[in-house]
Amino acid sequence: MTQPTLTLCRSCSTADPDLPRQISAALAAAGLSATLQQVDCMSGCDRPQTLAIRQSGKTAYLFGEITSADLPDILTFLRLYASSADGTLPDARPLGELRFKAIARIPAELP
């Protein structure tokens, strides 16, 4: 099975240049496997810094206003996401404040 891809906007005016390193370190410390990439502008400018999480065959998510304080909730999300067959989460409460930072949930392509 494929692993999730985390895509972090790097062009937001308030982007934290250290956040990619912090995310990578948190993933490694938690033993979670994911690909982290950075891109210019994901059109989440009203809620910078944006983070997309997607995996083949699963619902994709876009979050805004991501900071290093969200790292524990991002790790929780990734654990729940990994255990979900289609990427949907039945209860967002374990995500803490991250659940209020969701901008979009994009359904997976139909087979």
Query: Is 29 domain-assigned?
Result: yes
pLDDT band at residue 95 under the 50/70/90 scheme: very high
Query: Is 73 domain-assigned?
Result: yes
Query: Is 84 domain-assigned?
Result: yes
Query: Is 111 domain-assigned?
Result: no
pLDDT at 66 over 80: yes
pLDDT at 73 over 90: yes
Look at residue 110 in the predicted model and tell me its pLDDT: 74
Q: How many domains does the chain have?
A: 1
Query: Is 91 domain-assigned?
Result: yes
Token pair, residue 24, equals 């990578």
Look at residue 3 in the predicted model and tell me its pLDDT: 95
- DSSP letter string, 82-104: HH-SSS--S--GGGGGGGGGEEE
Radius of gyration from C-alpha coordinates of the chain: 13
Query: Measuring CA to CA, how many Å separate 24 from each of 5, 40, 41, 58, 111?
Result: 12, 19, 20, 22, 32
Look at residue 45 in the predicted model and tell me its pLDDT: 86
CATH of the domain at 29: 3.40.30
**Percent of the residues in the chain that have a pLDDT greater than 90, as a whole number:** 87
Question: What distance in Å separates the CA atoms of residue 34 and residue 43, rounded to the nearest whole number?
Answer: 23
Q: Give me the sign of the Cα torsion angle 7, 100, 72, 68.
A: positive
Segments forming the whole domain that contains residue 39:
5-106
Q: What is the mean pLDDT of residues 68-77?
A: 98
Look at residue 1 in the predicted model and tell me its pLDDT: 59
Q: What is the pTM of this model?
A: 0.94
